[in-house]
Structure 1
Amino acid sequence: MYTNAVYYPNWRVYRNQPPSSLNFGMISHVFYAFARIDDDGSICLSDSWADDEMEVDGVKGCLRSFAALKKIPSNTHVKVILSVGGGGAGSDKFPLMAQDPTTRTRFADSARAMVDKYELDGIDIDWEHPSDAIQGTNFLSLLQCLRAALPAPRYLLTSALPAGEWALQYIPLAPAAQLLDLINLMAYDFFGPWSPIAGHQAALYAPTPDTPCANTAIEYLVKCGVPCSKILLGIPVYGRSFLGAQAAGQAYAGSAGDEGTFEFRDLPRNDAVEQVDLQLGAAWCVGTNEAGGWISYDVPETVRVKAAYAKERGLAGLFYWTVTGDSVAERSLVMAGYRELHSVE
């Protein structure tokens, strides 16, 4: 049975997307994003109102909603995992916490307490990302503490990792993989506003040898001793904008949208024309600057290509950041991945 996992960001409950809005028939795991690290090294909720207090689906808080929803007979296959960290400030406290045995233990103990309190299935570490060999060693020590506090198979321990040797090189990947149940490979954001040229932000294969892509990252993990059976291939449920460009490899004048992105549900925009390259496993649309310019993203066709690749390589499956940006019916990326992984027409 392949994993078809999604990240659910807690802030989307404020946009009328409560946990009950998810299609659990297509989902095996939900990573609840995000918890944070308190000043003393313990885990704390990032939004206690959304997570624990507001009325959601007839209970108090999104976490209890997920706990209740997965008890419904049709949903008992779903695992809900609390993700700690995230991009930017969400990961700032990892280095200090992970370097000290006392705070590592406090973090692990609080993780167990949090998981048990909300009837969850485990913890996901989204440290973005260990930036040198010392932090990589501390990352491994943190996983060891967590595994002791969250023994398998009762509890799941996972981690989101960047899809680039520039970051992965600092992590002891083989011993980390022995402790982890799943590695969520963030195989997206290969290009963005930080890039000198426009490019496919989540291509499966590279158009040129020096272009980053998901396959190269998978090959690196495997070379470093990570079992394919523990790798989830990440799918972005958003597109990255490059104003003024007409194709990958071109110069561009800036980015449009929220932080240079548009949710997949809103693509293509206005008069933009969508195109797909099944050989690369990449899609894009081209429109006016008002439409976002040249936008790189995934579509159901490319997700099916990636799901077929996951099956061929013996990967654990796919995950999506984030489920709340998905479209509906035949346009749904999550549905496309599920159907291909499980050979459903």
Structure 2
Amino acid sequence: MTTSMVTFFTTLLVILMSFQTESLQHPMPSPYYSGSVKAGYWPSGNSLSPSSIDTRYFTHIYYAFVEPEPNTFNLIITSSDQNYIPQFINGLSSRNPPVKTILSIGGGSSNATLFSLMASTVKNRAAFINSTIQVARQYGFDGLDLDWEFPQNEQDMANLALLFKEWHQAVVLEAKVHRRPRLLLTAAVYYAHTIVLIGPSRRSYPAQAIKDYLDWASPMCFDYHGAWSNFTGYNNALFDPKSNISTQFGLGSWIQSGVPPSKLVFGLPLYGRAWKLQDPKVHGDGAPAVGAADGTDGTMNYNDILEFNKKNKATVVFDRSAVSYYTYAGTTWMSYDDAPSMTRKVQYAKSLGLKGYFFWQVGGDRSWTMSRQASSSWGH
């Protein structure tokens, strides 16, 4: 540990002795804790300027992503981050109505083994936690988000529970020491409580720790199917009578695990999944495919899908049972959401009592069409 880290945690230990242990085992009140969440991720360097985000449709915006250093587990703030983070914070601070900003750590391209090592010991967790708080305060973020994709086994999940507990205790104490609102703590998680389709083993998230120590968890209810499969499928079907790969099943499993619906913020994609059809004449859900659609990496933003439909006079189909759209033209087939399916999904989540929703990612929208629709469907 560095000298500053030792000093920080020595201070925490002293303060711990002056407070009842029980008061640190459960979430402390925060001015940001109540109310609905309408969130979106902004990938650093995105062509959409943070100062252009229409905050009428959001309550929280995430900065994505930073990662821990492999040896010290301190956050790496690259030269690009040093440029983009102030743009992000300053750009959003000028918007009205105001939004809360959250620093997201990890992401889909991050190293899951690195997070496993970080969470495996008290010392490593302490180094990581201290660094996250220091960086968040240095740049003026309102919260911290962990996007570990994904814990690989039950030991990782047990360590994740310890991380959430210690992280929560640290942000509570830091707020007490400096007499300021504590930082939010959130985490992006698998669409279902138990991970079964990714990695070597079946493993379940620590529901009790999520309930006790996070402001909310964010199930990523998308990427159910993609060009890695040799058949087409819906990116984020609300219902699927043939399998458990659906938002209905995923959210239900989280609630059944004991995580209150009021601690869940579910994910919606502002992009579609795109395949190349094996035979253009066979173009339904589950049609044979041969990888990503030509000219794509297997994805396409909502804005670009609308342009594709117009340019190619594509056939658009709404699947009422899945509550999803698909479109096809030539050999290209894509599944995506449009306003009516977005409305149904948001209303369904609200009917379950969820805390809110988030988008990946805000730059994929078209003139804030989907953001406006979701916000209106959710209400206040």
Q: Using structure 2 for the length normalisation, give the TM-score.
A: 0.80
Offset of residue 283 of structure 1: 1.1
1:240-262: CA deviation from partner (whole Å, max 9, x where unpaired): 11211511122212212543111
RMSD between aligned alpha carbons? Answer: 1.9
1:115-154 to 2 correspondences below 5 Å: 115-151=136-172, 154=182
Q: Does 1:242 align with 2:309?
A: no
Q: Cα distance 1:252–1:35, how it changes in 2: closer, same or farther (>3 A)?
A: same
Q: Deviations over 1:277-310 (max 9, x none)?
A: 3442211111112xxx110111111111111112
Alignment deviations for residues 189-248 of structure 1 (CA, whole Å, 9 cap, x no partner): 100122242111101111x23251001001110111111011112111111112115111
* The one of 44, 52, 55 aligned to 1:10: 44
> What are the ranges of 5 or more consecutive residues in structure 2 without an aligned counterpart?
1-34, 176-180, 197-201
1:43 aligned partner, one-letter code: L
Larger radius of gyration: 2
Q: Are residues 285 and 211 of structure 1, via their aligned partners in 2, closer, same or farther at CA, if it must alter by over 3 Å?
A: farther
- Report the residue type matching 1:319 in the other structure: F
Task: Write out per-residue CA displacement over residues 299-336 of structure 1, whole angstroms, 9 at most, x where no aligned residue.
Answer: 1111111111122111011110011111115xx21111
Q: Is 2:323 the partner of 1:281? A: yes
Deviation per residue, 1:60-90 (Å, 9 max, x gap): x3322333344447233x1110000011335
Amino acid of the residue matched to residue 56 of structure 2? G
**One-letter identity of the residue aligned with 1:188:** F
Residue in structure 1 matched with residue 355 of structure 2 by the alignment: 316
Displacement of 1:138: 1.1
- The match for 1:325 is 364
Secondary structure in 1 matching 2:89: helix
Name 1:29's counterpart in structure 2.
Answer: 60
- Any unmatched runs of 5+ in structure 1? 53-60
Residue of structure 2 in register with 1:296 after alignment: 335
Number of matched pairs: 323
Q: 1:56 aligns to what?
A: none
State the identity as a percent: 29
Partner of 1:156: 184
The answer on 1:307 being equivalent to 2:359 is no
Worse overlay, 165-174 or 259-268: 165-174
Secondary structure in 1 matching 2:227: coil
Contact 2:63 2:88 in 1 (8 A): no
Deviating above 6 A after TM superposition, structure 1's stretches of 4 or more consecutive aligned residues are none
SS of alignment partner, residue 228 of structure 2: coil
Instruction: Identify the residue that residue 75 of structure 1 maps to in structure 2.
Output: 97
Give the distance between the partners of 2:251 and 2:208, measured in 1 at CA: 13
Which one is further off, 124-133 or 161-170? 161-170
2:73 to 29, 41, 47: 41
Give the SS at the match of 1:274. strand
